[in-house]
A and B are shown apart, each in its own frame.
Chain A
Amino acid sequence: AQSVTQLGSHVSVSEGALVLLRCNYSSSVPPYLFWYVQYPNQGLQLLLKYTTGATLVKGINGFEAEFKKSETSFHLTKPSAHMSDAAEYFCAVSEKGAQKLVFGQGTRLTINP
């Protein structure tokens, strides 16, 4: 069965600093990969996704992620953190042709002024 591991349940960075949220997956074939963000008292919103093609994917709010097959990773980055980025971030994976998403446990991002 597929699994997703997000390293660090809590990450704290200063405003203006680099944001790096880590995600590793286990899959025998290259899957579809997703990052979702959840703001307090809201549902999940898609930040970006990788399906095929260019391995560096740009999303909303200045986030991007790079699919690295050799490392089975899909880490999320943003060059300069903003206070509004404080939220919980979920990495998810699905196999091509499969319907179900498998989510990681989430990483809570805190931005320090």
Chain B
Amino acid sequence: ETGVTQTPRHLVMGMTNKKSLKCEQHLGHNAMYWYKQSAKKPLELMFVYNFKEQTENNSVPSRFSPECPNSSHLFLHLHTLQPEDSALYLCASSPWGGPLGNEQFFGPGTRLTVL
């Protein structure tokens, strides 16, 4: 595998389910991100991790719980979601402190539908 991979690509869940999204980067980066992309809203940054430590949480509801066990893996644990949480969830990674700009590399996303 190369680049940033995300699994599953599609997920349908009920409001009482618990599920997890997985992201893995094969680029040797130290920073990882979760974004939410809804149909009628700009790309929303949710969480940022640097060297496994969370450095940003953009007021995300607690029903979204991120986990970063190492610099290559990032999870988003989901529980008791609402229908308005249906969206494309994108994972990205970047080198930390790079001198040439904060270029982020994105995965293909997980299309989440909450029933």
Hey, which bits of chain A sit against chain B, CB under 8 A?
32, 34, 36, 41-46, 49, 51, 90, 94, 96, 98-101, 103-106
Contact = CB atoms under 8 A, between A and B. Distances in A.
Interface in B55-106: 55-56, 90, 92, 94, 96-97, 100-106
Nearest to B109: A43
B114 interface: no
Tell me the interface secondary structure of chain A in the complex. Answer: loop
A5 B111 CA distance: 26
Interface of B: 4, 6, 31, 42-43, 45, 48, 50, 55-56, 90, 92, 94, 96-97, 100-109, 111
A42 B102 contact: no
Contacts of A41: 108-109, 111
Q: Which 6 A-B pairs have the closest CB atoms?
A: A43-B106, A32-B101, A51-B101, A44-B106, A105-B42, A103-B43
Contact of B102 (A43, A98, A105, A106): A98
Contact of B42 (A34, A36, A44, A103): A103
Contacts of B50: 99
